Structure 1
């Protein structure tokens, strides 16, 4: 049976990779040299003619990979596309800096970086001198403001936009795209259109794009803040808007990548099952932790940790809120382990084979599944400056993940226990944000990462625990993967 599952998983992976790589067919994709060393990629249709430049900027905690659906769509349409990693993000080794709350602080620095990328792309022989800025979320404000600077933009595509710089007249040729399930940003898209015409509705073009006065709001159906980047409506509208601005007629394909990426991730996770079945079989799990002690271990740290850490301010790691996350997870895990140890539930949990099995789990999660994520979803391969961040996060992530695995039986516990344990941890993070919103608001960005981690990696940990009878092996291995995932997600930041 495990060989059948392995072959099916490998087949689905191969099919997904073939489909995703097909979207690159006919394109020349190469590094773009940018002043200051900003990592950037240039997308061109092979054998194409001169065309406007499109500069694509990602949102907070994003990277070039996340914006690739737009890059591929517009390059296939014949545009010269430049996508890059902002300071502190992805492969960019330079941390973000400045005052994040001031327009003349971090915002101005990110605008300057966007301008450097635009100048580098405009110097390419295929560039015709015109430029478009496309940005998502945080970058929507950056590109709106940059379009009013030098080099000025002939059009702007703002995805999931929030910006105080939009007026009825500026920027030129503004297309605002939002997902139906990001209600406040959908309202912002309509507000931008209604600055021009109070009666404007979604999908209505106002003004004349060919004259520089165009404006349009688009609500992509049934998608949220990330799904809007993959929605065919978003991609098609962006391409057609630029065609209207520049009087072009594009015939390139619009890549439908979301479903293939989901299939690839599911197939890669599924491959973990036959690999787990290949591990040495272990003894049946011991007796279940008594309900009272389970609830004490699951709920006590969720209440105590946010309150205990509330007065503390830790600034060690050069990454926004990573210090707090590492400390929160570490204290949380130590309380869990202390309660379990007092009840005698740690005895026999660490035979010698635990360590190599934990290493195999970490290797699969980081190298195999992480490699898929890095290629098709978001940056997962760190530059050297992030290794210290990953190590610091591991000091907290490993105790937490180990305690959580032992508490839930490493895949053998009942579903309600898994939901209570993981839900309590997420609730503790949200409580921490509520206690210090100004200082920890960026934690809200990583909550989806942790939920996705539980769904993908937690499933694999369960397979390992059920096969080996060693919850600690999956817990330690997945703690290392969690530290890695958070370490490459948090933007690096240098105060000042």
Structure 2
């Protein structure tokens, strides 16, 4: 029986992982209790969070940053809805479930920025037309959206307060927009300095944590740091939630009490529980009879790990790689594909890759499908519900397919290099580090065109840390590194395909 194959340690991990998953889901779902959550009518995908008492409430429009979605902002939505506001979070063009690609000129304020402002206004208009809206409105945005909401607040006199998280905007003046709260993570050093600079436009002697002016009169301004967090962690920090709620209460003459939505730890526990569950699950297939792959010599390993890392950015540098309706994903797909092709070519040339028989090939494909399903179906479902959009609109299927054409050969070569997790740890660290360094070299060679790759690098790093570990468990238990590479390649292609913003130049 499969369960009998688990060691006592794996049984313990399985039990703890299931407890962590159940407890996290229970706690995360509890934040929704007593709220009415549903769609906002209109062409832009948007979700409304409001109290169930039916009393009309002030509206807060909530917008995400680059490569984000409305799920990423849910701590704000839940905190404000539980405080009596009607929170409306939406997906910008090109993001999340929004099927309309971003367009315009990204480098000019008169370009894409104006289109995103127009979409923000359409969502605002639709929200204020609902019977649960009492007429007053505030606006909140993170990162890229911080500039959008500030410019929209300057253009729309209905907006009584603005919350800019991880803000950078050249549009702020000493007295506009009205009632501006700026929140930065303490580990966002540049944005923390920017928050202080903007605060001192109103009062050169002001300091972080000090309120300038009077929110009740529309003249309020405040900048605060959320401790021990960075660009994403600031979206989950209790300090961010409390400051946002208190600022809006001051602007609207309201009072709120009680806990805020403190979800970051529970989300982390849920995702760690799902990843940890892969260890005992990998053992349920039984001990593999597949032959252990031969160990690459040190010299050959270094050649396979380092030659593509240097060669690929140099080979792609002279060419225009824009062929997909999405920012820099086309380059990344080509980088993956060429990187994997070079590495696999070297492995085949040296006779390190052998063609499997029919039965073994079927076992490899079956295991690859299970690995991909665990990543996309199980981990992905948790991501889509609690973190960020993970299930694609039809327009993204072509992008996922293009990413798979590159990610699959890359992850296959990676898994063969590290022998499905059986190679020494330093080899795995060097192989993945060399690839990240290769992307960094590509950005350095063409910073203007490939700048947005820097935003995707953390996604790739987290993938290596989490699912490189999962791949090691499956590879050691199954003895089939090719299956691990194929499955993780499909999962990586999916994860990147739903992350990149869709973009159509005009």
TM-score bracket for the superposition, by shorter chain length: over 0.9
For the residues of structure 2 that align with 1:489 and 1:268, how far apart are their CA atoms? 20
Would you say the 8 A contact 2:34–2:51 is kept in 1? Answer: yes
Shift of 1:455: 1.2
> Are 2:334 and 1:296 equivalent residues in the alignment?
no
Q: Which residue of 2 aligns with 1:8?
A: 16
Q: Secondary structure at the match of 2:155?
A: coil
Shift of 1:316: 2.0
For the residues of structure 2 that align with 1:101 and 1:294, how far apart are their CA atoms? 42
Shift of 1:150: 3.0
Shift of 1:5: 2.8
For the residues of structure 1 that align with 2:92 and 2:460, how far apart are their CA atoms? 23
Q: Secondary structure at the match of 2:420?
A: coil
Shift of 1:457: 1.2
| Equivalent residue for 1:146, pick from 152, 157, 162 | 152
Q: Secondary structure at the match of 2:261?
A: coil
Q: Which residue of 2 aligns with 1:17?
A: 25
Shift of 1:401: 0.3
Q: Secondary structure at the match of 2:202?
A: coil
Would you say the 8 A contact 1:140–1:163 is kept in 2? Answer: yes
> Are 2:383 and 1:383 equivalent residues in the alignment?
no
Q: Which residue of 2 aligns with 1:317?
A: 324
Q: Normalised by the size of structure 2, how large is the TM-score?
A: 0.96
Q: Which residue of 2 aligns with 1:440?
A: 450
For the residues of structure 2 that align with 1:135 and 1:56, how far apart are their CA atoms? 6
Show structure 2 runs of 5+ residues with no match. Answer: 1-7
Shift of 1:151: 5.6
> Are 2:131 and 1:96 equivalent residues in the alignment?
no
Q: Which residue of 2 aligns with 1:185?
A: 191
Q: Which residue of 2 aligns with 1:403?
A: 413
Q: Which residue of 2 aligns with 1:276?
A: 282
Q: Secondary structure at the match of 2:134?
A: strand
Shift of 1:349: 5.9
Q: Secondary structure at the match of 1:235?
A: helix
| Equivalent residue for 1:166, pick from 169, 172, 191 | 172
Q: Normalised by the size of structure 1, how large is the TM-score?
A: 0.98
For the residues of structure 2 that align with 1:252 and 1:475, how far apart are their CA atoms? 48
> Are 2:471 and 1:461 equivalent residues in the alignment?
yes
For the residues of structure 2 that align with 1:181 and 1:285, how far apart are their CA atoms? 45
Shift of 1:48: 5.0
Q: Which moved more, 1:379-388 or 1:284-293?
A: 284-293
Would you say the 8 A contact 1:144–1:158 is kept in 2? Answer: yes
Q: Which moved more, 1:150-159 or 1:415-424?
A: 150-159
Matches within 5 A, 1:197-276: 197-276=203-282
For the residues of structure 2 that align with 1:349 and 1:433, how far apart are their CA atoms? 38
Shift of 1:483: 0.3
For the residues of structure 2 that align with 1:76 and 1:367, how far apart are their CA atoms? 31
Shift of 1:340: 1.1
Would you say the 8 A contact 2:294–2:352 is kept in 1? Answer: no
Q: CA RMSD in A?
A: 1.1
Q: Which residue of 2 aligns with 1:47?
A: 53
Q: Secondary structure at the match of 2:181?
A: strand
Q: Secondary structure at the match of 1:427?
A: helix
Would you say the 8 A contact 1:76–1:253 is kept in 2? Answer: no
For the residues of structure 1 that align with 2:175 and 2:159, how far apart are their CA atoms? 14
For the residues of structure 2 that align with 1:162 and 1:78, how far apart are their CA atoms? 29
Q: Which moved more, 1:307-316 or 1:76-85?
A: 307-316
Would you say the 8 A contact 1:77–1:253 is kept in 2? Answer: no
Q: Which moved more, 1:459-468 or 1:48-57?
A: 48-57
Would you say the 8 A contact 2:11–2:280 is kept in 1? Answer: yes
Matched length: 494
For the residues of structure 2 that align with 1:257 and 1:214, how far apart are their CA atoms? 29
Q: Secondary structure at the match of 2:388?
A: coil
Would you say the 8 A contact 1:320–1:442 is kept in 2? Answer: yes
Would you say the 8 A contact 1:115–1:151 is kept in 2? Answer: no
Shift of 1:252: 4.3
Would you say the 8 A contact 2:236–2:263 is kept in 1? Answer: yes
For the residues of structure 2 that align with 1:473 and 1:204, how far apart are their CA atoms? 57
Q: Secondary structure at the match of 1:134?
A: strand
Would you say the 8 A contact 1:174–1:214 is kept in 2? Answer: yes
For the residues of structure 2 that align with 1:43 and 1:311, how far apart are their CA atoms? 49
Q: Secondary structure at the match of 1:81?
A: strand
Shift of 1:152: 3.3
Would you say the 8 A contact 1:31–1:42 is kept in 2? Answer: yes
